[in-house]
Amino acid sequence: MLNFPSIPLKTGLASLALLLGMGSAQAQKYTQLAQTPPMGWNSWNKFACDVDEQKIRQVADAMAANGMKAAGYEYIVIDDCWHGRRDTLGFIQPDKQRFPSGMKALVDYVHGKGLKFGIYSDAGNKTCGGRPGSRGHEYQDATTYAQWGVDYLKYDWCATEGLKAEGAYTTMRDALARAGHPVVFSMCEWGTAKPWLWANNVGHLWRTTGDIFNCWDCLQDNGGDWKAYGVMRILDMQDGLRQYAGPGHWNDPDMMEVGNGKLTPNEDRAHFAMWCMLAAPLIAGNDLRQMNPQTLSTLTNKAVIAVDQDPLGVQGFRFAAKDSVETWVKPLAGGDWALCFLNRGRKSQPVTFDWKTQPIHDDVAKRDLAADRTRYKIRNLWTGCEAGTTAKPFRAEVPGHDVVMIRLSK
């Protein structure tokens, strides 16, 4: 990893020239970050453009105190619409009405809670919400973020006519590296240019699809090419991508809708469980200041989170589908496995899994679940109960739109 000095803002344009003269070709992604999928919160799914410093502080207070920080959540990310204008030298300013104390003070506040701070920009001229984008200001913006102490950048893809994704994201990666403050780089170009094929060394995570929509299995058509997808639709769109994910470079099926009021508690649980099976970034998208105990316990189930955060870093896969029930499998470090039975239908369904007659092989991890040779202990991750061993077939009842998730340990 290359390290570059951070340059104070007051040195302004002179330092920018210096930065640009340094030859960006050597710059690299910060390679030690996001060794497991990032965990945090993002403002967009709940608040859209209605963000201000008080709200962000309160959300940070909530995350630090309610058990989420203890469960591993770390980043507080302000999405679109925090921006004011650029000043006469081109430096971006936060919206003065909504962020009267300035961004540095807010970042310091979040850091003071033992959390990290994320911000949002766009590779084009404008963000999706019509605020100033970073096109032509990449090094300047990266320097500004470093000066503020920003630890995470979500970088969107609106208003990018004439730009190529690989070049545009590489430019910002280099700018962030040059600015010298470690930043997790979250690429949000919706899978359009297949970032999984080229972004391994560019971003730490990349969106694989258009936006999530707060429903179980609907398609929201916003006109033109602009569609948003329910949780099950997003899940289906992850097919064929698992071999591209791993420590430091994750597929991102978008921020979660858990606790945002449209999904039932069972659906919230299934949504969360499937994101963990996918080794997805766990970015909560609900109002952490007022969450019911059910939502909080879903978001903070440590045994389920451990499946997502498993150090082996292999994304799970759909092993079988029968009637409305899918069987998902994820290999874990130390020879363990997670299995998740997902019932996509409304009616409760019994499942039986016979370890002897259904051998599991994972092409990506190059590993077999050899239950005929090894006896694993089974734990039900949502109830926390022991559930026998693989000596006998596993039986359970999966409620409609819900999961039964288990961990096999040697």
Interface positions with ligand GLA (CB under 6 A): 44, 79-80, 127-129, 156, 188, 211
Angstrom distance (rounded) from CA 290 to CA 313 = 32
Alpha carbon of residue 222 to chain centroid: 23
Q: Which of the following is catalytic: 79, 141, 211, 308?
A: 211
Q: Report in angstroms how near the CB of residue 130 gets to ligand GLA at its nearest.
A: 9
Q: Are 92 and 105 in contact (CB under 8 A)?
A: no
How close are the terminal C-alpha atoms of the chain, in Å?
Answer: 37
Q: Which is nearer to ligand GLA, 207 or 401 (CB)?
A: 207
Query: Closest residue (Cβ) to ligand GLA?
Result: 128
Q: Which is nearer to ligand GLA, 56 or 351 (CB)?
A: 56
Q: Which is nearer to ligand GLA, 256 or 270 (CB)?
A: 256
Q: Report in angstroms how near the CB of residue 112 gets to ligand GLA at its nearest.
A: 26
| DSSP state string for 344-376 | -SSS-EEEEE-TTTS-EEETTTTEEE-TTT-PP
* Cβ-based neighbour number of residue 321 at 10 Å: 12
Q: Which is nearer to ligand GLA, 288 or 325 (CB)?
A: 288
Angstrom distance (rounded) from CA 341 to CA 355 = 14
Q: Is 211 a catalytic residue?
A: yes
HSE-up of residue 143 (Cα within 13 Å, Cβ side): 22
Strand partners, 379: 386, 407
Q: Which is nearer to ligand GLA, 64 or 128 (CB)?
A: 128
Token reading at 175: 């700018």
Q: How many angstroms separate the Cα of 210 from the Cα of each of 220, 245, 252, 363? A: 11, 18, 11, 28
Q: Report in angstroms how near the CB of residue 399 gets to ligand GLA at its nearest.
A: 30
Q: Report in angstroms how near the CB of residue 127 gets to ligand GLA at its nearest.
A: 6
Q: Report in angstroms how near the CB of residue 213 gets to ligand GLA at its nearest.
A: 11
Token reading at 68: 């989420």
Angstrom distance (rounded) from CA 224 to CA 246 = 34
Q: Which is nearer to ligand GLA, 80 or 138 (CB)?
A: 80
Alpha carbon of residue 356 to chain centroid: 36
Q: Which of the following is catalytic: 79, 122, 156, 252?
A: 156
Q: Report in angstroms how near the CB of residue 255 gets to ligand GLA at its nearest.
A: 7
Q: Is 156 a catalytic residue?
A: yes
| Residue whose pair of structure tokens reads 């700018």 in the numeric block | 175
Looking at the annotation, which residues are catalytic? 156, 211
